[in-house]
Structure 1
Amino acid sequence: MKNLWIIAVLFGLISCKSEAQQEEQKTRDYKVKKTENEWKAELTQEEFNILRKAGTERPFSSPLDDVKESGTFVCAACGNELYETKHKFDSGTGWPSFDRAFDGSLAMSSDRNLGYERSELLCGDCGGHLGHLFDDGPRETTGKRHCINGVALKFIPKQKK
């Protein structure tokens, strides 16, 4: 019985959702503003869950994790330019990872979805949830790891001249 209670408490901590991201989306003045219904009409169900409800895709499920071609990663919701391939690295986590973003392209918030505080990365133009920021990135560059849901991104290859 005691083990069942412990499992129930742990499940509750892991599955609970913080409202921090939704509060950040409501209080910050973003350039791109849409109602929840407008976002639902424009985004796929998976994009809506991740970008607007702070969901997380399964690790190793995004084809963008393997992209090495030169180009730009933009917000899947609004097209805001976020990352360049040259700042992408293989973190081994199963999510596209970058050591930096374009200046001014991101907003930050925090969440406690897992019972401890994490730095949450949001699109600076529409407030869409992208992923999280960690301090275990490449030490030879920024030391940061932007752990991003591939569903939150679209890749635009660099035009060959």
Structure 2
Amino acid sequence: MKTLSEEEKRIILLKGTEAPFSGKYNDFYEKGIYLCKQCGSKLYKSEDKFKSGCGWPSFDDEISGAVKRILDKDGVRTEIVCSNCNAHLGHVFEGEGFTEKNIRHCVNSISLEFVKG
């Protein structure tokens, strides 16, 4: 596990949210793999990333088995966490029609690391 900054702890461990349009991966579209910032597990492929306009990186698929879904404490939304270390990633939404898969993983940039590939 990596040592996290205070802001990374606030989001990854305490389930916070970074400000919209502030994350370094919001408008970032290089080819590669997105990893969990805390443990380094592979989470998302760049080809599954799309521009949703929501202010956070959006993906319409995850690497198989990489992400767990948990009903949020608000009882409405579905939280997504790293399957390996339970790091908070963001939330998943269905039925919005952004892509053919009709799903959007709305992920905090600060929860991710990117590796070109």
| Aligned counterparts, 1:20-31, within 5 A | none
Stretches (4+) displaced over 3 A: none
| One of 63, 79, 85 as aligned partner of 2:46 | 85
> Given that residues 61 and 105 in structure 2 are in contact (C-alpha distance below 8 angstroms), is that contact kept between their aligned partners in structure 1?
yes
What's 1:18 paired with?
Answer: none
In terms of fraction of residues, the more helix-rich structure is 1
- For structure 2, the 5+ residue unaligned runs are none
Matched, 1:131 2:108: no
1:59-79 Cα shifts (integer Å, max 9, x gaps): 000111111110000000000
CA contact (8 A) 1:99 1:137 kept: no
Identity of aligned residues (%): 41
What's the secondary structure of 1:65's corresponding residue? coil
2:61 counterpart SS class: coil
* Root mean square deviation, CA, Å: 1.4
Residues 137 and 121 (structure 1), Cα distance of their counterparts in 2 relative to 1, 3 Å cut: farther
The answer to whether residue 36 in structure 2 is matched with residue 75 in structure 1 is yes
**Which amino acid in the other structure matches residue 25 of structure 2?**
L
Specify every segment of 5 or more residues in structure 1 that has no aligned partner in the other structure, as ranges: 1-31, 33-38
For this pair of structures, how many residues does the alignment match? 116
How much does 1:108 deviate?
1.4
User: Out of 65, 73, 96, which is 1:112 matched to?
Assistant: 73
Distance across 1 between alignment mates of 2:111 and 2:99: 26
